[in-house]
A and B are shown apart, each in its own frame.
Chain A
Amino acid sequence: MTIPHWLRVALLLLPGVGLIGAFIGSVVFIAIAQSFGYYNLTGESAFTLDDWRAILDRRLFERSVAYSLYVGLFSAVASVIIAYPLALWLRKPFPGSSLIGAVLKAPLLVHGLVAAFLYVNVIAYHGIVNQFMQWIGLWTGPRVLQNDDNAIGVLILQTWKNMPFALLLLTGAVQAISDDVLDAARDMGSGPFARFRKVVAPLTVSALQAAMVIIFIGAVADYSFQAIAGPINRQSMAQLMVFFKGDGQWNNAAVVGVSLMAIALIGSGLLALVARLFVKGASLR
């Protein structure tokens, strides 16, 4: 392409991508600058590494990074693990498959906050789960299920919300594999699991990577599920950032925000790489 062509493409993209880039770019710039002491709302604005040093030394920050990574990784992996068999099941149309597909994708249309409050109601001390478990005689009395220490509630919500997205991407990729290719693998002696490892997974690895990266970024930066259904004694990075901001510690909040962006970026890259290597390794075994 010639320079005028490139210019034309750039100008055409400018109203859309340019605007987004400008807004996100300015926020990212301010966050980075603030984490190094600039845009200081409560004192002198000057370059400093003090805020980074202070935050990186805090156990609270370490714990919130570990916790956010735990939620992000688990949600991404669990979502694709559940989505793959469903995508394979829905690969070929059958009576009712459209309805099942639509119902499975419904969480995409439910707001996260609504889902979180619904979930909290269901598992509440006098909620339906507790009542049911007592009714069937497994529990003698109600149990506290809310805000559990291992963040099971957050993981369930994240997986419930994100699995349909993985399903959407994986269904398309799985449907693109021709019947003949799968039949050929069968004909060559591959059983169901070998067909998945050696044919389906390698041919859908791009969709798998995309799903994992997007889910990971969303889940690692989770705030609402954590705030409503998460453990009380732990904070996600987003929660920690909001805590610092609420306390007027803008520079510390910026350090957490920039760390979160870096973790999301590097983590998603690593996750995509590991997913590809894992699929390749599994297909060679």
Chain B
Amino acid sequence: MSAIEVSGVTMRFSAFTALNNISATVDEGEFVTLLGPSGCGKTTLLKLISGFLHPTSGTIAMSGKDITRLPPEARDTAMCFQSYALFPHLTVKENLRFGLREKRVPADEQRRRLDPVIAQLGLEPQLDKLPNQLSGGQQQRVALGRALVMQPKVILFDEPLSNLDAKLREIVRVEIRRIQQQNNLTAIYVTHDQAEALAMSDRIVILNSGKIEQIGTPRQVYHEPRTSFVADFIGSANVMDAVVKSGEGKTWNVDTPLGALELHSERQPAGRHIKIAWRPEAAVLNGNGPNRVTVRPSHSSFQGSYTDIFFASNDREFRVQLREIQGEDLSREELAFSIPPQQLKLLEAVA
């Protein structure tokens, strides 16, 4: 049985449709990330799961029980807010105990739950401090601890790292994942940061304009994007129009702005006129395989471990990322590379 099951959920705010017929499941102990650009509906979906909003249509179930109309205080969820949302008038210890007292958890049980969380998050020295005496990272830990002591069925994260600096973000990100795995928590995490989603998640739900574009493991959504939006949003991709000329088994021949290319795919093309994508790092410098392309770079940008090389073909700009072999200068007038056929990905049909 799924920890959370969202079925056909639509959410409208007056004339604006924030979510359109969304269905997804989250298994017990799974870490699922809702990923998408601003305004895609990911926070709305999280608020529907937490109970702060009620859907216009559709249902939400937790462990098989319908919770669609249940208020947040009656749901077995705990939320980590983007702003941390610590109670400013309460000490760290009081903040941690707040939910336990509200749920009337006996004092010895409170201690049994608090002590390991305090130790796990290293909050012992901060217990008597007020939130405004803590750094951003410490406040985030308290917010996380406050949610953890509730031992909820599902823990919800609303962009919890967006107020932290880059270095701290990485540390707390690892910490959240470690704690989630240690406690076998079911977690739903909202972010617009694709690197965060790839690093932390068991599965990623990619949302765009209120619709699900793709659900999959980080590797699936990165290596097997289903739409040009996913290909472009997760990492970077060269997305181009293609016309399917012929195909046999898993091999397809397509016409593209880079010329005729061969691609291998388990899936059938969605039509004759389709979009295809390939990752900039898929290019093999001086490769001798199929799909060999010779281009005149317009400019290049040295990035340390690799070099970004840009070129145009048929009024479209492309990018390849090539590793520089020691001492080799990639800023040439002409560059040849090949794209392995399995690195070319079939996307949606062109409308």
Contacts and interface: CB of A to CB of B under 8 A. Distances in A.
Interface stretch (B98-106, B168-176, B191-199): B98-106
Contacts of A78: none
Given A180-B81, A180-B83, A187 B73 contact: yes
Contacts of B79: 183-184, 187
B85 A191 contact: no
Contact of A189 (B73, B81, B88, B89): B73
A181 B143 CA distance: 11
A191 B78 CA distance: 15
B146 interface: yes
A186 B51 CA distance: 10
A199 interface: yes
Given A183-B79, A184-B79, A190 B73 contact: yes
B87 A181 contact: yes
B88 A181 contact: yes
A202 interface: yes
Interface residues of B, number: 23
A194 interface: yes
A178 interface: yes
A189 B72 CA distance: 7
Interface string A193-231: 010001100110000000000000000000000000000
A202 B85 CA distance: 15
A188 B150 contact: yes
A187 B89 contact: no
B102 A184 contact: no
B85 A181 contact: yes
Interface string B79-111: 101111111110000000011001100000000
B81 A183 contact: yes
Given A191-B73, A202-B89, A203-B88, A185 B98 contact: yes
A188 B81 contact: no
A185 B86 CA distance: 9
Interface residues of A, number: 17
A191 B71 CA distance: 10
A190 B89 CA distance: 16
Q: Of A178, A188, A190, A199, which is in contact with the most chain B CB atoms at under 10 Å from its CB?
A: A188
Given A183-B85, A184-B79, A202-B89, A189 B103 contact: yes
B102 A194 contact: yes
Q: Of A186, A198, A199, which is in contact with the most chain B CB atoms at under 10 Å from its CB?
A: A186
B52 A188 contact: no
B77 interface: yes
B50 interface: yes
A282 to B, nearest CB: 13
Interface string B146-162: 10001000000000000
Given A180-B81, A194-B102, A187 B87 contact: no
B88 A187 contact: no
Contacts of B72: 183, 186-187
A191 B104 CA distance: 13
A186 B73 contact: yes
A183 B99 CA distance: 12
Contact of A184 (B71, B85, B89): B85
Given A188-B78, A189-B73, A203-B88, A183 B52 contact: yes
Given A184-B79, A188-B99, A194-B102, 19 more contacts: A178-B83, A178-B85, A180-B81, A180-B85, A181-B85, A181-B88, A184-B85, A184-B86, A184-B87, A185-B87, A185-B102, A186-B71, A187-B77, A187-B78, A187-B79, A188-B103, A188-B146, A189-B102, A203-B88
3 nearest A-B pairs in the assembled complex, by CB-CB distance = A188-B99, A180-B85, A189-B102
11 contacts: A178-B83, A180-B82, A183-B72, A183-B85, A184-B85, A186-B72, A186-B73, A187-B73, A188-B103, A189-B103, A198-B87
